[in-house]
């Protein structure tokens, strides 16, 4: 178990990167705590796998250094880094039994036999595989195979980190919850540093203490699930986290006045003068509907296009000046035929060139 | 919903039955027909029962040819399978050299059997052949027409040259289908090169190796053209394999009854041995303890 330091790491697949766009992974400078559960979240091609491969040792970053505790491991091969990895598709040694699979990394490291037996039976117990110990790994289901992959990391007590590369891709939906819960429980019990790559926000938010959201090669926000929801640092985080995602609309901001949809709203904070793209974001969960013309300052004039009733709540799809604008209403609330949207100014987030601007009180 | 019993669907398999009857069943039955009858020409046949089978099974000539064939197939498998695996492992997985290697490997497979035989027949001659001349000039007394060992060595080297490529290509196909994650996992688990081969590559090649072993066994057990062209079954009878003997019996001596009986026995031996290979190789590595059980 180790603290992982990403010291100004950046990577380009081109031999001589010149501009920012040449980098598949733009500079990241961060320290990941020992024993933390981190999720790298982002769409395909955002650089999350590149970052994982840099940590696992399959890639050497173009720039920067990687440290496990105080040791510089930037140029070490995967086998020298003392890490474990669970891959997207289950990797098991087909001809070995479950117990032999778990013993394999220990046998290779010449651990004494009775110690191996002890650790393997402990791992079998942890993973609830004891009754399958003597079966060939080949005939097991995908989720059991993934558990074996994880088990090969768990038997090594001294691993610096356990890496997961979209490990639930091939698992049946009803098993995903269970595996994730087991994983979370194992993390709480043993405190391994875990890094989990996924493009599924539910997986990331339920697994991780800290979610690292990546977009186009850049880490746009690192935060707890709550921070990502309440305070998205980038419009992409707003879109990507939450279902439906954040409403983001172009607007004008001058001082503490926001002009949107022909209405002027007074914000609680003052903002500097901004040139370029200025947008306002608000989570659909914080939008309320009132009959047209009512509410503070008359509300925002919206046109409701559809209402999706999904049981516990209603999703109202609407248009505001040609941009889509959603609202999530509690169960049983009425949707007025001619509606206007009412929002709490404290919940409005201002973005300049997609990045959050906090303003001053 | 009630189902109407209806057997019309059997008509759907009729075309296949007709086709297989023409290509396999009818010729095979002709052979069966000859094997239990005797003839003196003029299309007159007499019932002979199992006489020809008994005669063939008791004949020393058949035993010798069978033993030679078993030895030949054994040697061929023992050389070509490990050699094929080794070459496949050494081939590049990506880059410019992949197509070059694949074409080089495929070349021998494109050459017809009798041409291969002719090539080696000339190649091995001491007077005009490159190999024969070279061996003679460094003082090796090599003559496949007179020395039984030389004749065997020639036929074996020729078959290895001609057919190892097949094993290589099959193994290579098995190797490239292994996902990269397996190798990464093995590195992380600290596995040695040998263990990567033993626990990842060999198990993943199991199926293609089964095909390779079956094909090479059946082909080598039925070998005819190359020894016929190069040695003609000699010197003496030293390279007279079952197929060569069979042709001598059927066409050389026109003993249709014994030849037909021998064909059937020959066919059954190949079938039996192929079944043995198949059973052994598919059961290898199967789950012997499916009920599980604790440690």
A235, A254: one domain: no
B279 touches chain A (CB under 8 A): no
**CATH number of the domain located at residue range(s) B33-283 in this protein:** 1.10.3720.10
A117, A178: one domain: yes
pLDDT of amino acid A354: 87
Residue linked to tokens 């995908």: A142
Please compute the mean of the pLDDT values over residues A22-44 and round it to a whole number: 87
A189, A64: one domain: yes
Min Cα–Cα distance to chain B from A149, Å = 9
Interface of B with A in 131-190 (CB under 8 A): 179, 181-182, 184-185, 187-190
A214, A275: one domain: no
**CATH code for the domain of A110:** 3.40.50.300
A100, A31: one domain: yes
Q: Which of A85, A90, A117 to mutate to test the interface with B (most CBs of B within 10 A)?
A: A85
Q: How many domains are contained in chain A? A: 2
Strand A287-291 and strand A339-343: pairing?
antiparallel
Min Cα–Cα distance to chain A from B89, Å = 19
Tell me if A78 and B285 make a contact (CB, 8 A cut-off): no
pLDDT of amino acid A296: 56
A223, A103: one domain: yes
Query: What are the residues whose beta carbons fall under 8 Å from the beta carbon of A217, sequence distance 6 or more?
Result: A23, A24, A25, A26, A46, A47, A50
Tell me if A87 and B187 make a contact (CB, 8 A cut-off): no
Instruction: Report pLDDT digits (tens) over A230-271.
Output: 889 999 999 888 888 899 988 888 888 888 877 888 887 888
String of DSSP letters for A34-92 = TT-EEEEE--TTSSHHHHHHHHHTSS--SEEEEEETTEE-TT--GGGTT-EEE-SS---
Instruction: Report pLDDT digits (tens) over A64-94.
Output: 888 888 888 888 888 888 888 999 888 999 8
Q: Which of A53, A76, A79 to mutate to test the interface with B (most CBs of B within 10 A)?
A: A79
A232, A320: one domain: no
Which residue among A240, A256, A284 closes a domain? Answer: A240
All structural domains of chain B with their residue ranges: 33-283
Q: What percent of chain A has pLDDT over 70?
A: 98
Distances in Å between the Cα of B83 and the Cα atoms of B76, B203, B243 are 10, 17, 26
Tell me if A105 and B190 make a contact (CB, 8 A cut-off): yes
A279, A152: one domain: no
Query: Which residues in chain B touch residue A156, judged by CB atoms under 8 angstroms apart?
Result: none
A166, A108: one domain: yes
- Give the side-chain half-sphere CA count within 13 A for A315: 13
pLDDT of amino acid B292: 43
Which residue among A197, A225, A240 closes a domain? Answer: A240
pLDDT of amino acid A335: 82
Question: d(Cα B245, Cα B168) in Å, to the nearest integer?
Answer: 31
In tens digits, chain B (295 residues) has pLDDT values of: 567 778 888 888 999 999 998 888 888 888 888 888 887 767 777 787 788 888 888 888 888 888 999 999 999 999 999 999 999 999 998 888 999 999 999 999 998 888 888 888 888 887 888 888 888 888 888 888 788 888 888 889 989 999 999 999 999 999 999 998 899 899 888 889 999 999 999 988 888 898 899 899 988 988 888 888 888 777 877 888 888 888 887 787 777 888 888 889 989 998 998 899 888 878 765 555 544 443 3
- Give the side-chain half-sphere CA count within 13 A for A277: 11
pLDDT of amino acid B167: 94
pLDDT of amino acid B2: 67
Min Cα–Cα distance to chain B from A198, Å = 17
Instruction: Count the Cβ atoms, other than its own, within 10 Å of residue A347.
Output: 13
A42, A174: one domain: yes
Tell me if B184 and A121 make a contact (CB, 8 A cut-off): no
Min Cα–Cα distance to chain A from B127, Å = 54
pLDDT of amino acid A293: 66
Which residue among A240, A258, A277 closes a domain? Answer: A240
Query: What is the SS3 assignment for A31?
Result: strand
A42, A182: one domain: yes
pLDDT of amino acid A299: 76
A170, A32: one domain: yes
Instruction: Report pLDDT digits (tens) over A165-184.
Output: 888 888 888 888 888 888 88
Which domain does A289 fall in, by range? 247-357
Instruction: Report pLDDT digits (tens) over A106-128.
Output: 999 888 999 999 999 988 988 88
């Amino acid at each position: 178990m180790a603290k992982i330091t990403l010291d100004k790491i950046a990577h380009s697949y081109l031999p001589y990167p010149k501009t920012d766009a040449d980098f598949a992974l733009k500079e990241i400078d961060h320290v990941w705590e020992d024993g933390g559960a981190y999720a790298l979240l982002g769409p395909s091609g955002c650089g999350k796998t590149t970052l994982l491969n840099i940590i696992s040792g399959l890639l050497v970053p173009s720039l920067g250094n990687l440290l496990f505790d105080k040791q510089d491991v930037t140029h070490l091969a995967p086998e020298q880094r003392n890490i474990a990895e669970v891959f997207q598709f289950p990797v098991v040694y087909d001809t070995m039994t479950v117990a032999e699979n778990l013993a394999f990394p220990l046998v290779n490291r010449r651990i004494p036999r009775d110690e191996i037996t002890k650790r393997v039976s402990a791992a079998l117990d942890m993973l609830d595989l004891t009754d399958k110990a003597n079966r060939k790994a080949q005939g097991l289901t995908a989720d059991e195979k993934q558990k074996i992959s994880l088990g090969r990391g768990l038997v090594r007590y001294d691993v610096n980190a356990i890496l997961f590369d979209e490990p639930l891709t091939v698992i049946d939906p009803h098993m995903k919850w269970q595996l994730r819960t087991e994983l979370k429980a194992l993390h709480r019990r043993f405190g391994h540093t875990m890094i989990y790559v996924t493009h599924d926000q539910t997986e990331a938010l339920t697994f991780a203490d800290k979610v690292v959201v990546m977009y186009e090669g850049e880490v746009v926000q690192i935060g707890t699930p709550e921070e990502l929801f309440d305070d998205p640092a980038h419009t992409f985080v707003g879109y990507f986290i939450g279902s439906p995602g954040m409403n983001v609309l172009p607007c004008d901001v001058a001082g503490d006045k926001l002009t949107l949809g022909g209405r002027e709203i007074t914000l609680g904070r003052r903002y500097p003068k901004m040139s370029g793209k200025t947008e306002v974001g608000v989570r659909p969960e914080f939008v309320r509907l009132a009959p047209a013309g009512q509410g503070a300052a008359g509300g925002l004039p919206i046109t409701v296009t559809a209402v999706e009733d999904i049981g516990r709540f209603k999703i109202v799809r609407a248009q505001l000046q040609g941009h889509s604008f959603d609202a999530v209403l509690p169960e049983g609330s009425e949707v007025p035929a001619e509606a206007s949207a009412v929002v709490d100014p404290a919940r409005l987030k201002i973005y300049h060139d997609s990045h959050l601007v906090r303003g001053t009180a | 919903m009630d189902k109407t019993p209806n057997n019309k669907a059997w008509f759907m398999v009729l075309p296949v039955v007709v086709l297989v009857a023409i290509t396999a069943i009818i010729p095979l039955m002709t052979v069966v027909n000859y094997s239990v009858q005797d003839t003196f020409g003029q299309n007159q046949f007499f019932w002979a029962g199992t006489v020809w089978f008994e005669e063939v099974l008791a004949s020393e000539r058949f035993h010798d040819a069978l033993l030679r064939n078993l030895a030949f197939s054994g040697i061929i498998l023992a050389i070509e399978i490990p050699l094929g695996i080794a070459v496949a492992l050494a081939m590049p997985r990506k880059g410019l050299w992949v197509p070059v290697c694949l074409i080089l490997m495929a070349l021998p497979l494109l050459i017809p059997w009798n041409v291969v035989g002719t090539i080696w027949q000339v190649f091995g001659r001491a007077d005009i052949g490159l190999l024969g001349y070279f061996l003679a000039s460094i003082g090796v007394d090599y003559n496949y027409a007179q020395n039984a060992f030389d004749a065997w060595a020639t036929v074996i080297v020729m078959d290895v040259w001609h057919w190892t490529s097949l094993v290589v290509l099959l193994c290579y196909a098995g190797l490239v289908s292994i996902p990269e994650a397996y190798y990464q996992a093995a590195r992380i688990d600290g596995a040695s090169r040998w263990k990567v081969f033993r626990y990842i590559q060999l198990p993943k090649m199991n199926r293609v190796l089964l095909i390779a072993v079956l094909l090479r066994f059946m082909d080598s057990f039925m070998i005819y053209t190359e020894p016929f062209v190069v040695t003609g079954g000699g010197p003496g009878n030293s390279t007279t394999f079952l197929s060569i003997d069979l042709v001598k019996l059927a066409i050389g001596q026109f003993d249709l009854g014994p030849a037909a009986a021998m064909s059937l026995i020959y066919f059954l031996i190949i079938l039996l041995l192929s079944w043995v290979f198949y059973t052994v190789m598919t059961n290898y590595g199967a789950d012997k303890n499916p009920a599980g059980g604790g440690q």
